[in-house]
Every structure is written in C-alpha cells, then in structure tokens.
Amino acid sequence: MKEFKVSFDVTDKSVSVPSGTLLLDAARLAGIGINQPCGGQGRCGRCAVQILDGAVRRRSTLRLTAEDVALGYALACQTIVEGDVQVHVPLQEKIERRLTTDLTVADVTVPASYQFDTDQTIRRVSLTLSEPNMDDQTDDLSRFLTAIRQQAGFAQVSVSLGLLRKLGGVLREGQWTVTAILDTGFAEGETSKTARLIDILPGTVPEAEPIWGAAIDIGTTTVTVWLADLVTGKVHAQASEYNGQIVRGEDVISRIVYLGKNGNGDELKLLVLETINNLLESVCRQAGGSAKPERIVKASIAGNSTMIHLLLGIPAASIRLSPFVTAVNQAPLLSAQEVGIDIHPEATIDCLPGVASYVGSDITAGVHASGMDLSPTLTLFMDVGTNGEIVLGSNEWLVACACSAGPAFEGAGVVSGMRATQGAIEEVWINGKDYEPSYRVIGSVNPAGICGSGLISLLAEMFMTGIIDKAGNLNMHLNTPRIREGGQGPEYVVAWAEQTKTGRDIAITHVDIDNLLRTKGAIYAGYSVLAESVGVSLEMIEQMLIGGSFGKYINVEKAIQIGLLPDLAWDHFKFLGNTSVLGAYYALLGRKSRESITEIASKMTYIELSADNRFYEAFMSALFLPHTDLSKFPSVNEALEGQ
Amino acid sequence: MKEFKVSFDVTDKSVSVPSGTLLLDAARLAGIGINQPCGGQGRCGRCAVQILDGAVRRRSTLRLTAEDVALGYALACQTIVEGDVQVHVPLQEKIERRLTTDLTVADVTVPASYQFDTDQTIRRVSLTLSEPNMDDQTDDLSRFLTAIRQQAGFAQVSVSLGLLRKLGGVLREGQWTVTAILDTGFAEGETSKTARLIDILPGTVPEAEPIWGAAIDIGTTTVTVWLADLVTGKVHAQASEYNGQIVRGEDVISRIVYLGKNGNGDELKLLVLETINNLLESVCRQAGGSAKPERIVKASIAGNSTMIHLLLGIPAASIRLSPFVTAVNQAPLLSAQEVGIDIHPEATIDCLPGVASYVGSDITAGVHASGMDLSPTLTLFMDVGTNGEIVLGSNEWLVACACSAGPAFEGAGVVSGMRATQGAIEEVWINGKDYEPSYRVIGSVNPAGICGSGLISLLAEMFMTGIIDKAGNLNMHLNTPRIREGGQGPEYVVAWAEQTKTGRDIAITHVDIDNLLRTKGAIYAGYSVLAESVGVSLEMIEQMLIGGSFGKYINVEKAIQIGLLPDLAWDHFKFLGNTSVLGAYYALLGRKSRESITEIASKMTYIELSADNRFYEAFMSALFLPHTDLSKFPSVNEALEGQ
C-alpha cells in the first residue's frame, strides 16, 4: 500500500502512514494528542484540524460549516489521508482545574453513631508473641495466627504471599510485639471470626493514631476523593479533578465506543487510575502528618457501571448494546495492587454495588446518602451529571431508571458550551424589551462560553421573553441584531466578540437549542414515566432531591420554566451536591451503611426506558417549552399569562 | 577509595573496582559467572581462579594446597583486590543432564481407588445459561453464579478480577453454554459448596478430555515434574533437571548464606522458577495432544522447607540461625501467577505442609508415599539427598529428625567427588592382595570422578582390605604405589591419569575420608538417637525405607560395612526412589492423600538434634568404621573376623 507523509505544525516530527489512515491515528503516531470528547464518533466536532496542504477525504463534516470546510477544516476522527498532507493542529482545550469543590472538610459531619470498634470493618490489634526457642520451634506464621486467635479472637486469618514475605522480618524487628491491621469483611457482621491481614507493623501503635481510608467517586466528568481517619471517622482532606478519560469521550457511550475502536486496551483504565492516584497523593499532602498513600488501607468506590468496569479493566461493550447488560454489578472485594491504585498494596478496594448498566453505585450510594431509603416521604431523587439517573420511592420501595440525557448541560453538543470553570457564563438575564442580555461569569472575567446552569438560565429567559417559541424556534422578526442567521443556521448572540475571552461571538444556535430540548425532554420523560409506571402522579411527590455537583447551581425557577424540573413548590427541592462520594464515605466508615447500600441495590427495581413506548411518547411531548401540555406546568402558565 | 582494574582471560571486558572488592564480585561485574557450590563460604574450593599478575589478599586458602597457592590460585569468594589484577578463570563445571530418571511413566500406578468425581478437588462442569434480554438484564456474573449454583450445586464461587475480565466474552462466544473449571479446596471435604473459579471456556468439553495437573518435587539438587491427567489420574510424562540454584550453593545452608550476602534478592527464586518452567514445558511436549503449560490447572509441590521458602520468595534466614524457625510450614493455597509458575495463571499451587526447618514437605509427602503412616510395622524412613532426614514410627506415631549430613555423598566436599552423571565411578572393588581397584563407570567411559554410591563402595572396600583403619587413616606401609603422600596429605589413587577423562589422577584423600566419615557418622547418630529418644533399639526396626534417588544405587552390604546403614537383615531394606514426587502426585490426585499429608505433618514430632548432647556423643562414636562399638555391627564384625 502506498505510504504518505503527514506533517503537523506543532511538532518537527512527520510520520509516514499508509493511504487511508485516519488523521487522528497519524497524529497519535506523531505523538500529538487530539481531544475526542465524543470518543471518535464524529459527533462533537472538537477534533477539527486544518489541512494546510495535501489530499484528504472527509467521511463526515458534521459540526463543520461550509465555510470551515472551505478553510480546510476537517474532523481528525473522520478524515483519511490520500496524499502527503500538512496539518495545522489548533490549540487543544485545556481541561482546567475545577474552581468549586463540594462540601468542604468542615461541612462533613461524622455520623453521630460512628464507633470505630463496632462499625468499622478494619481492625487494628496489638499482639505480643512468645519468642521461639529450641523447645518451641513453631513457624512464624503459626505463632502469629495463634496470637491473633488468642489475643484478638480471630479464628481464621488469611495472609497473602506478600505479607508472608515480610512477616518474619517484622516479628523480629518488633521483638515479637507487633500490630496487625485486618479487614474483617463487611458480609460477616460484627461477630465475624474470619479476617484478611492487610498489614503487620513492628511494635505497638498508639490507639489514637489515624488509620487512613479513602472514599472515591468516579464520575464520568469528575473524580472526587475524600481522605478519612477510620478511627475518628473524620474527613481530613478532599480533592476533585477531571476524569483523565475525558479526552477519550465526554460520556460513557463515547468512551465505550473509543475503547472498541482502539483494541480494548488498558488506556482508559490507566487514565482514570492516574487521576485517582494523583488525587490520593493530593489529599495526603493536604492532610499531612502520617497521611501517605501507602498508609491508606481501605477505599470505597462509587461510580456509574461503565466507570467501574473501565476502572477494573472489565470489558464494557455489553453495557452499550441491547439488552444493555453489565459484566458485574457487584464486584468482589479486591486488593489495591490488583486494581492498580497506589495505596497500601493489600488495601481493600470495595467497589459499591450497582443495579444495572445505567444505574450504578453512584446512585445506590447517593440514595443512601440522601436518606430517602430510610424515610417514609415519597421522594424523587435525581442525579443529573453526565448521565441522568432517577430514583423514585421511599423506605418501602425504590424504582429507578436512566435516561440517556447526554452531556448537553455539561457543555458538550453545544457550540459555545463549556464546563463550569473560569470564564463560563453561569446565569443569564434577558431584557424583555430590547432582548439585551446580562450575565454572570465564573471568576468575573470575560466569558469564554456557557456552562450548564447558564444554558438553563439562557433557555428560560429566551423562552419567557419570546426570543424562542415553545418549540425552540428563534423569532427572526424581533428587532435585535443579536438574532441572526449564522454558519449553522439561526442563532442568538449572548456576548459580542469584543467582550469575550476568545475574541469570537458567543452564540446559541438553533441546533444547540434542539440538543438542550432533547436533553431536558429525556429527563422529564424519564421521571414522569417512572412515576407513571408505579402509579404515582408527579404532584404526589413530597420531596425532590437533586444530587450531582451540577444541581447545586441550578436556578429552580428557570429549570421549571424550561420543563426540566417538575412544577412543584420550590421548598420541595433540595440540592444535595455530590451524594455519590458522601455515600461512599458512609460505606467506608460503617458496616451498616455498607449493608444499606447492598440492600438498596437489591431492592431497587430498574425500569428500562429504551424498551418502553411510553417513554418515547413522553419524550416527544416534552420537546417543547415547558411541555406540550401546559397544564403540567401551572406556575409557568401563570407567569406567561401574567406577562 | 582507590580503584583498581581487574581483567579476566575469558572476556575482553575489564572492570574497575575499589580496593578490597571480592574477586567474585569483580567477576560478576564483568559478566562472568563463577560457580559457588558452598554459596561463597570458602568451604568447597570450587571457585578457585588463578592470579596471573597483580596484588590480591587471600582471606582463606582452605581446599587449596601450598602448591596451588604458589601457582597463583585463589578462592574468588575469599580473595580481595589490592591492585590491578589479571585473572585466569578455569572452565566452570558444566551441570550435565542427569542420565537416570526415576520411576518411568509406565511404572507409576494410578491408585486403584482414584475416582475423579469424588477424590479430586478440581471440578469441570458444563453450564447452560439463560440468555439476557430486555426483560432480564441480570449482569453476567450473577447469571453465571446462578447457573453454577443451580446446575452444579456450588453456593459460593469466588471469581478473580482476571476471570471477571474474560467472563462476558466467553459467555457470548459460547452462546451462553460454557464449561467452568473450579477448585473446591481440599479443606472442605466432599460436601463443599464453595469453590474458586480457575477458568471458564466457551461451549462444552468432552468428559474424557484431560484436565492437566503437575506434581513437582523441588530437591536441593534435582527438580522433578510429573504431568498427570486429573480425570484418569494417569501420569503422562516426567522430567528431571538439576535445580538451577546449584550454581549458588550445593546445600540449603550455602544458598541461604549466598542470599544473605547478595541482598536477599529474587535471584534464587528466579533460578528455580526457570528450572520448573522448563520442566513443565518439557513434560507437555512429551505428552503432546492438549497438554500445554497454560492448560495445567493445579500443581502440588513438595520440597524441603528452604526450597519452598526460596520458591515463594519468603526470607529463609531464620532457618539457618538458632532456634532454626521457618517463616511458614504450611503455605496457603496460592495461584500460579502469584508464585511465578508459567501454567494457567489461576492454577492452584499447593505447597504441601512441612514440619520444621529441616523436615519439609519432601518428607511428609515421602512418608505418605511410603505408606508407613498407615502400617503397623515399625519403620525407619530415611531420605538421604543433599540433606539427611529420618523418620521413625508407624501408623500410631511418627518422630523425625534431620542431620546436617552435608552433601559429601553427592560429591561435594570430596576432591574427586562428582554427581551421578556420565563418567562417575559408581562402584569399586579392591583386590585384598595387591590393593588394585576395579570399578564401574556410569556410561562406560573413562572416569572423571566418583559419585556417592562409588564413594560408599570405595570406603567399604578400603576398610575391608585394610587400606584404611577403623579411624579412616590410610595405611602408608602397604606395598602399593596407589597409597602416597599427595598435595593435601595421604591419599589413595583409584584411577591413574592415563585412564581418566581429565588426564589427572583420581584419588581419595585423607581429608575426603574424614568428610565422608562425618557424613555417615551424622546419619548414623541421627537415626540411633531418634530411636533412643522414643525407647526403640535399632534391632527392633522391622523395615527400613530409603527414599531419594541416591538410595537406589547404594550397595546395602557396603553401606552397612561403613556403618552408614544399621546392621539389619538385607531384606529389611527397601529403596523407594523419589518418594517426595510420588507423595506430591498422590496429593495432586486425591483429597484423602492430601489430608493424610496434613495429618502426617501435624502428628510428626520433630526432634532437634543440634540441641541434644546425646547426638554429639553418638556422632563422635560413629566417626569410626563401622562404629566404635563393633557389637552394633555384628555382620561386619563377623566378616572382618572371617578374613
């Protein structure tokens, strides 16, 4: 096959590739990373590069305007080499550190009932062994096991090969006085007499000396780690960071697609491990003192099913394909070295149990953290992160569904969309007379784009001021230069180029609006069909709990105006922040919390919406602002009539 | 510190080392391997090199004659660099393939009672799973575990992360019909409902298809592997090879010393793993068909305690130092990938239980293979390999001891000693008139040295013909040129230079004889003190079983004449060959055999001789031929008187 030379303006290295090679692969060969938020499906348009010279063939130009194509732009994931090519690679979007964190360390309350000695699965015991002599040549392991049985009551303790290798040295270094750290396992209950040895240390350790544990939430977008002292239960440090997998797809589907296209290797596993390991180092640095990654002996992990599969290197392809089955909802307890998390190699890794492909342990942990499983109040729990999961129920029953909402509210699929970082427009007000907007920007700098809460706010304002109609169509007849025909059709300009960080107009296009309507429509259809399927009408819902960091910044009024949230009294809504990491933290601490999450997972009935005709109908009806049936949104109706 | 240049005649590479560096370390730096049969203790003299030029300091010249030293010879492990040095490295002894193997495949009888379905811990079950659909989105693992519970009766099956990763693919490849291979564990008995998944294969497997297992005996000198089909129990192939650790010490003490001197790294572990893995490949090649290392799902391993520690990378230093304690006598079940054995990564590795530092699982397995633990006959079991272990007892009780016999009968510590390979003199006859010897050589070639059975034979003949007296002193007054004063004192020439392979006289020196007397004295003292300690006199012993390949070639009459074996009727002796691998094979097959070995280990009382004054006294009395007290050897007394 003929080979062609591909050179890039960002590196001196040019590569020689066979005809038909994807530009993306040529770039990778040259050591250039090109972000692929959609995982290489040609959907997001973020991998666009500019062909300066040479022959290529574009399989798809979705998300490129005719003008872009005329300028030579091409999607790296959809364009193949057909001759020697010179390529300009635009500056790749840097994923900036999240500005806002969730609950601060001081905000996290240790559960009042927490008792290290009874609730915690980790035990620390000091042992004094008899010294061997010529009349007692018992082997080290038997001597140790006898001491732990007699002095700590564990009849059966499993010891790994790694610990067997260090046992003799530690016994002698401690002059036959040692401290053992054990995991008694959550399944057995408090009376357990079996345990797994995690570590053995020479000498005794003061009782108040912390035993470190980590609660980890692996979100599709953000990974959060809390470092806690298992003795007191207190959280000592927290850190969040974008999930390193983002460059390989913004949503779970994109990542599964990416993995399939790239030989199902370890890349995504290694990316999220790198993120987790960096965060663990960071929380230990923050906490100081004895906190070091290698001294963390237990980690509880929550995440959606895809995130858990990718973390463990378990193929996730079946999650994406009908009938949407996971390989495992409840992973066995693993050790840190098996998983690749850089804490104590024998540390227990407890991936909390999920329910289905699209209802993972982020939801079971979240439900536990929200307390809805213990309350008689009829509650709708919603976690709108990169995916949208919804749980309805009370202490008596729980039903759940997932809607492939798409990450539109996280800025993907929207031309000017961005994440909630510095420079993002997070709230918009539009003057009903001249259609001039005002807005608030995170970090009070010139805006670079619009984040989720900004998009909800913008959509609501455009609707309430008549810039768009209930179908989302822009009114081209209004007397304002902000509404215009752009490269991708009709659009409304939120910020003019001279006021923006990028030097380009920030606008919302008709296509963007369609994407946003589909997302909010899917979420509305999700919870309304879920409620209907158990004979509950939305008005009956007594409280609505919203998890996920996204929720915190939503303006309830505006979210109701666009039909994203149901039309309930405002005091019915509670924003809980990151319930997933909070649930993981509870599970890290307490045997009972851990059991509750298992119970939630086993009693939660999953309803598959994609097989449900009612969902499709509800979705179609919800593609309007706020809804085809205005009687479902009486407060919005009233506001519109009041104008 | 001053640096000096050391150059070697076997490589162009010279090295620069600080003053005071051992020649051995300088050679290693230059990439030259010098054998260290004694582990670098300066005891064996095999690491001698010749200093052609330059300044060195000899810390010890043991095993070198004044003539050797005058010629520039120096022990590489005992000589330090004090100036630029040029070194001649003699050709290192090649470790040749053993000529003789043990029982042939055809000789091994499958225990008549062996029933795969009940005796074997490994199970193979075919499962048909319901296919997932939109109404049944159960995760793969739960679906699999349900099938295995319903169709095979296992209530609890542990699945490793590695198998979780392949589970989904295999289920789909087999279109929801799969074959699981499980280990039900030996501890639970036949009614066990818990199991560990070893492998999962798509589709069904014919019932007669072999399931491969390996029995492994790790001797200090030789490693033996038997490949068996667990379904029929039949042994399909066997292979033996020198333990790759030999170059780092001929006995266990030398290897522990070597390890300590060389940073306690992985070297010895990797050497024996290489030997084992080569043998596993070899048996699979021999067996052909479906036999492949990666299809071996279980291995039972017997070996002395040091060999098991070194295999598992567990520090063995405490074995050598008073109070002589092992790290572990009974290792937990491990997986092949943990240990580093190149068979199926999840294969069960069962290191059989030992009793003490110097009574390992080679002995417990050997006792089981010998059947003495089931018989009322009062039996003395002896395994004279590189170490000497002795067990006395019956089905009612067992006592054991070890004597640091030293490897003299394996050729070490004897100038002309060699292993039982081609060119070794294995039997000697001496004419009582002219003191001329005749001998038989393995392979019928010119002799290169004398192996263990040859040394016993030689010693007995020299004694019975009066060449040596009962104290082992050579009679310098006999009229034969074969008795002479050599470089290391008095010696007897067995073969003149013109008849040898090496072109040098093969002689046995006074020092050699002393070494042999010490070895046989230690063994005699071992079993006699052992018997005495339980109130048994040697005449009461009803049978004497001799394990170890060494035993097979011993001439009983001559072994009694030198006082190595007790003076019992010849029909009391049985030579069993490699009982260790036979016991490992029985344990590989049958749950009951495996339990018997555990029982043997727990009921065997270990008697520490090094702490016993009686041993020292018995040893001193046994340093004569056949013994100070001739009444203990009436048959020898009679023969001497009859001359």
pLDDT digits (tens, 9 = 90+) for A161-172: 999 999 999 999
A194 CB neighbours in chain B (<8 A) are none
Q: In what order do the strands lie in the sheet with B194-202?
A: B122-128, B177-183, B194-202, B156-158
The amino acid that residue A393 corresponds to is G
Chain A touched by B96 (CB under 8 Å): no
Cβ atoms of A354 and A402 within 8 Å: the answer is no
**Contact A298/A588 with Cβ under 8 angstroms?**
yes
- Which tokens is A427 given? 């709230």
Q: Say whether residue B107 is in contact with chain A using an 8 A CB cutoff.
A: no
> How many whole angstroms separate alpha carbon B264 and alpha carbon A369?
49
Tell which wins on pLDDT, B374 or A46: B374
At A412, is the pLDDT very low, low, confident or very high (cuts 50, 70, 90)?
Answer: low
End-to-end CA distance of chain B: 68
pLDDT of residue B629: 94
Which chain A residue lies closest to B265 (C-alpha atoms)?
Answer: A165
User: Quick check: A439 and A494 in contact, CB under 8 A?
Assistant: yes
What is the per-residue pLDDT for B86? 93
Closest partner CB to A327 (pick from B141, B327, B331): B141
Average of per-residue pLDDT across B75-89: 91
A315/B169 touch (CB, cutoff 8 Å), yes or no:
yes
Is the predicted pLDDT of residue A104 greater than 80, yes or no?
no
Average pLDDT over residues A508-531: 93
- Asked if B335 and B349 count as a contact pair (C-beta separation under 8 A), the reply is yes
Nearest-by-CA chain B residue for A167? B327
Q: How far is A307 from chain B (nearest CA, A)?
A: 14
The yes-or-no verdict on residue A100 having pLDDT over 50 is: no
| Secondary structure of residue B265 in the 3-state scheme | coil
Res B189: pLDDT: 46
Cβ atoms of B451 and B426 closer than 8 Å: yes
Q: Cβ contacts of residue A531 below 8 Å, gap of 6+?
A: A380, A392, A537, A538, A540, A541
What does the pLDDT average to over A547-566?
84
User: Which residues, 6 or more positions from B300, have their beta carbon under 8 angstroms from its beta carbon?
Assistant: B213, B214, B215, B216, B350, B352, B584, B585, B587, B588, B594
**Angstrom distance (rounded) from CA A601 to CA B164:** 20
Alpha-helix residue ranges (DSSP H) falling in A190-304: 252-261, 267-287
Q: What is the pLDDT of residues B565-591, one digit of tens each?
A: 999 998 999 988 889 999 999 999 999
Q: What is the pLDDT of residues B45-65, one digit of tens each?
A: 778 899 999 999 988 887 777
Predicted pLDDT at A186: 62
**A308 vs A329: CA distance, rounded Å:** 9
What's the DSSP call for residue A294?
G
Q: Please, which pLDDT band fits residue B33 given cuts at 50, 70 and 90?
A: confident
Residues 587-606 on B with a CB inside 8 Å of A are 606
Tell whether the model's pLDDT for residue B252 goes beyond 70: yes
Contact call for A312 and B158, based on CB within 8 A = no
Residue A96 scores a pLDDT above 90: no
Q: Residue B292 has what pLDDT?
A: 97
Place of tokens 């699979």: B284
Q: Which residues contact A625 (CB under 8 A, 6 or more apart)?
A: A459, A463, A468, A469, A470, A471, A472, A517, A561, A562, A563
pLDDT band at A67; cut points 50, 70, 90: confident
User: Do the Cβ atoms of A220 and A305 come closer than 8 Å?
Assistant: no
The confidence score (pLDDT) of residue B641 equals 86
Measured from the Cβ of residue A99, the count of other Cβ atoms closer than 10 Å reads 13
Helix (H) or strand (E) run with residue A3 in it: strand A3-8
Residue entry with tokens 């010696």 = B491
* Predicted local confidence at residue B611, as pLDDT: 75
Q: Please give the distance of CA A540 from its chain centroid, rounded to a whole number.
A: 30
Q: Each residue of A187-196: pLDDT tens digit?
A: 554 445 789 9
More confident residue, B467 or A408: B467
B583: phi then psi, degrees, rounded to nearest 5: -65, -40
Sequence-separated (6 or more) residues with CB below 8 Å from residue A551? A382, A384, A575, A576, A577
- Is pLDDT of B97 > 70? no
- Quote the pLDDT of residue B190: 45
Q: pLDDT tens digits for B121-162?
A: 999 999 999 999 999 999 999 999 999 999 999 989 999 999
- Asked if B140 and A325 come within 8 Å (Cβ–Cβ), the reply is yes
Could you tell me if B383 and B363 are in contact, meaning their C-beta atoms sit under 8 angstroms apart?
A: yes
Kindly state whether B265 is in contact with chain A, defined as any CB-CB distance less than 8 angstroms.
no
A147 DSSP assignment: H
Q: What are phi and psi of A375, to 5 degrees?
A: -110, 140
**Does the distance separating the beta carbons of B356 and A326 come in below 8 Å?**
no
Q: What digits encode the pLDDT tens for the residues B484-515? A: 998 889 999 999 999 998 888 999 999 999 99
Question: Which strands, in side-by-side order, build the sheet including A79-88?
Answer: A15-18, A3-8, A79-88, A48-58, A73-75
CB contact under 8 A, A168 and B318: yes
Q: Say how far apart CA A586 and CA A597 lie, in whole Å.
A: 10
Residue A551: its pLDDT value, please? 63
pLDDT of residue B12: 83
First to last CA, chain A: 68
- Label residue A102 by pLDDT band (50, 70, 90): low
The neighbouring-strand residues paired with B334 are: B349
B524, B554 contact by CB (below 8 A): no
- How large is the ipTM? 0.86
Strands of A119-193 (E only): list them.
Answer: 122-128, 156-158, 177-183
pLDDT at res. A192: 54
CB B402 within 8 A of CB B359: yes
A86: DSSP letter: E
Determine the distance in angstroms separating the CA of A140 from the nearest CA of chain B, rounded to an integer.
5
Q: Is the pLDDT of residue A267 over 80?
A: yes
B309 sits in which H/E element: helix B305-312
The residues, ordered by sequence, that sit 6+ positions from A150 with a Cβ below 8 Å of its Cβ are: none
Residue B417 per-residue DSSP state: B
Residues 6+ away with beta carbon under 8 Å from A274? A244
Q: Which of B403, B348, B369 is nearest to B526 (CA)?
A: B403
Rounded alpha-carbon distances, angstroms, from residue B296 to B206, B348, B441: 17, 9, 39
Of A327, A356, A357, the CB nearest to B168: A327
- Which pLDDT value is given to residue B251? 85
Determine the Cα–Cα distance for residues B27 and B88; give it in Å rounded to an integer.
11
Contact in structure between B344 and A158 (CB atoms under 8 Å)? no
Walk across the sheet containing A483-486 and list its strands: A483-486, A489-495, A506-509
Give the number of other CB atoms < 10 A from CB of residue B327. Answer: 27
For residue A135, give the 3-state DSSP assignment. coil
B438-457 per-residue burial string, b: 16 or more CB within 10 A, e: under 16: ebebbeeeebbbbbbbbbbb
CB contacts under 8 A, A 332-351 vs B, are: 332, 334, 338-339
Residues in A touching B328 (Cβ below 8 Å): 139-142, 164, 167
Cβ contact (<8 Å) for A318 and B138?
no
pLDDT of B216 > 80? The answer is: yes
Average pLDDT over chain B reads 90
Whole-angstrom distance, CA of residue B309 vs CA of residue B318: 11
Q: Give yes or no for A398 touching B (CB within 8 A).
A: no
- For A53-67, A399-413, A415-429, B462-476, which range has the lowest pLDDT when averaged over its residues? A399-413
What amino acid occupies position B559?
A
Beta carbons of A327 and B139 less than 8 Å apart: yes
Residue A569 above 50 pLDDT? yes
Q: What angle do CA B518, B522, B525 make, to 5 degrees?
A: 135
Burial of A327 (C-beta count, 10 Å sphere; 0-12/13-18/19+): buried
Gap from A183 CA to chain B (nearest CA, Å): 18
Least confident of A617-626, B471-480, B484-493, B604-613: B604-613
- Disruptive mutation site among A164, A310, A359 for chain B (greatest number of B CBs within 10 Å): A164
Query: Which of A137, A167, A324 is nearest residue B323 as measured by Cβ atoms?
Result: A137
Q: Give, for A543, the enclosing helix (H) or strand (E).
A: strand A543-547
8 Å CB contact between A195 and A298: no
CB contact under 8 A, A134 and B323: yes
B140 neighbors B173 (Cβ within 8 angstroms): no
Question: What DSSP element (H or E) covers A224?
Answer: strand A222-229
Q: Which residues of chain A make contact with B327, given a CB cutoff of 8 A? A: 139-141, 164, 167-168
B562-571 per-position pLDDT tens digit = 999 999 998 9
Q: Is the pLDDT of residue B262 over 90?
A: no
Task: Give burial (CB, 10 Å; 0-12/13-18/19+) of A54.
Answer: middle
Query: What pLDDT was estimated at residue B554?
Result: 80
Tell me, what's the pLDDT at A103? 60
d(CA B27, CA B37): 16
Q: What pLDDT sits at residue B309? A: 98
Euclidean distance between CA atoms A492 and A506, whole angstroms: 9
